[in-house]
Chain A
Amino acid sequence: KNEVEQSPQNLTAQEGEFITINCSYSVGISALHWLQQHPGGGIVSLFMLSSGKKKHGRLIATINIQEKHSSLHITASHPRDSAVYICAAAISNYQLIWGAGTKLIIKP
């Protein structure tokens, strides 16, 4: 069993749909990161969470420390949201355990 597991692995949805990507971890963490990787390959950090919830535009990230679970939500999804979304668990000030990523495709 991987220490950081994401689901689903692939997700295809229609423009406008509400999207949820899940991340479960089995290790002790100091923070949980969500990152986005576009088809061009660049990796961008979206959120870093150690508790509660964060919101940026149409993106919302939540974390439940007791359940060792985090979710990334996208409201009013758009084709430009199509990307791979990766969660990563910070187990030290520099070490991240990476999830395998969720490939999201939003169809117009």
Chain B
Amino acid sequence: DAGVIQSPRHEVTEMGQEVTLRCKPISGHNSLFWYRQTMMRGLELLIYFNNNVPIDDSGMPEDRFSAKMPNASFSTLKIQPSEPRDSAVYFCASNRGVSRETQYFGPGTRLLVL
């Protein structure tokens, strides 16, 4: 299996622009996680999907952030409008959603908002 795939790997944009991050989970995994990593706050869970349904979005910072999972093999995280404080590495992870299971992380998208 190719593992969790994320795109783009790097994104540089200007403040106010829309940013869309993409994730393809491992085939057969029905749980998907979006995380944000910054130096100040470490890893933070933004949103958790199970069977394509958002279960916990309490970590989404504000209305500028939205996430979708239209099918089992694709998810997007959108920031509109982007702000410099959104600069971070965004990770997508997936697993089968059973108890006590490892999460498999994608390579991350490094976002810089100027």
Query: Hey, which bits of chain A sit against chain B, CB under 8 A?
Result: 30-31, 33, 41-45, 48, 50, 86, 88, 90, 93-96, 98, 100-101
A96–B45 CB distance below 8 A? yes
Query: Hey, which bits of chain B sit against chain A, CB under 8 A?
Result: 31, 33, 42-43, 45, 48, 50, 55-56, 89, 91, 93, 97-105, 107-108, 110
Which residue of chain A has its CB nearest to the CB of B31? A94
**Secondary structure class of chain A's binding surface, majority of residues:** strand
Which residues of B sit under 8 angstroms from A44, Cβ to Cβ?
A: 105
Alpha-carbon separation in the docked complex, A38 to B99 (Å): 27
Which residues of B sit under 8 angstroms from A93, Cβ to Cβ?
A: 97-101
A-B contact count (CB 8 A): 49
Which residues of A sit under 8 angstroms from B89, Cβ to Cβ?
A: 41
Ordered by A's residue number, 24 sampled pairs between the chains whose C-beta atoms are within 8 Å are A30-B99, A31-B100, A41-B107, A41-B110, A42-B105, A42-B108, A43-B91, A43-B93, A43-B105, A43-B108, A44-B105, A45-B102, A45-B103, A45-B105, A48-B100, A48-B101, A88-B43, A93-B98, A93-B99, A93-B100, A93-B101, A94-B50, A94-B56, A98-B43
Alpha-carbon separation in the docked complex, A53 to B97 (Å): 24
A42–B100 CB distance below 8 A? no
Which residue of chain B has its CB nearest to the CB of A40? B107
A100–B100 CB distance below 8 A? no
Alpha-carbon separation in the docked complex, A50 to B56 (Å): 24
Alpha-carbon separation in the docked complex, A94 to B38 (Å): 21
Which residues of B sit under 8 angstroms from A33, Cβ to Cβ?
A: 102-103
Which residue of chain B has its CB nearest to the CB of A29? B100
Alpha-carbon separation in the docked complex, A96 to B93 (Å): 12
